[in-house]
């Protein structure tokens, strides 16, 4: 599945469309797109392989399942990437923007050396994805509660 196809599904269905198959598809796409590239610009095959191996469960949060686990996993992987301008980072951020219909800032002016700036950008983007997920889940729960109360 190509990046545009993944984003289109997320745009049409929303955050709940993200699942282990979608996470794996992002990793597979990176590996197939950049299979001949090794070096400075496309050297994140290690992270792509982690995405491909995603089981749908988080070691750090057993209660998280389905789309919640997938988004938290992607946010964790994004936070670990070195460059917000890389294909994997851009793909994760663009998928979140499509799914949550929000802008996820990745380039802020931050004082400090280049490594610190890139690290802060990744942390901020990952934090924003977690925040969007939390807001979305709270809305879903509120809607569910209102439906149950309306039925009484």
The full set of domain ranges for the chain reads 3-150
CA separation (Å) from 73 to 36, 55, 112, 149, 152?
A: 27, 10, 28, 33, 37
38-80 per-position pLDDT tens digit: 655 567 888 899 999 998 888 777 777 789 999 999 999 998 8
The string of pLDDT tens digits covering residues 98-147 is: 999 998 877 554 444 455 455 567 778 899 999 999 999 999 999 988 88
Contact 39, 83 (CB under 8 A): no
> How far is residue 152 from each of residues 117, 139, 140, 144, measured CA to CA in Å?
53, 20, 19, 13
What predicted TM-score, i.e. pTM, was given to this entire model?
Answer: 0.83
pLDDT at 45: 85
Give residue 57's pLDDT.
82
């Amino acid at each position: 599945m190509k990046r545009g196809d993944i984003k289109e599904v997320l745009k049409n269905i929303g955050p709940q469309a993200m699942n282990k198959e979608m996470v794996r598809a992002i990793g597979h796409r990176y590996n197939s797109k950049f299979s001949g590239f090794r070096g400075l610009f496309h050297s994140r095959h290690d992270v792509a392989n982690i995405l491909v191996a995603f089981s749908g469960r988080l070691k750090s949060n057993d209660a998280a399942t389905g789309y919640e686990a997938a988004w938290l996993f992607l946010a964790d992987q994004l936070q670990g990437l070195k460059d917000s301008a890389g294909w994997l980072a851009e793909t994760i951020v663009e998928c979140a923007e499509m799914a949550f219909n929000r802008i996820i800032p990745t380039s802020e002016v931050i004082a400090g050396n280049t490594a610190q700036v890139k690290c802060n950008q990744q942390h901020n983007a990952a934090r924003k994805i977690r925040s969007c997920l939390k807001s979305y889940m709270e809305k879903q729960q509120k809607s569910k509660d209102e439906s149950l109360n309306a039925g009484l």
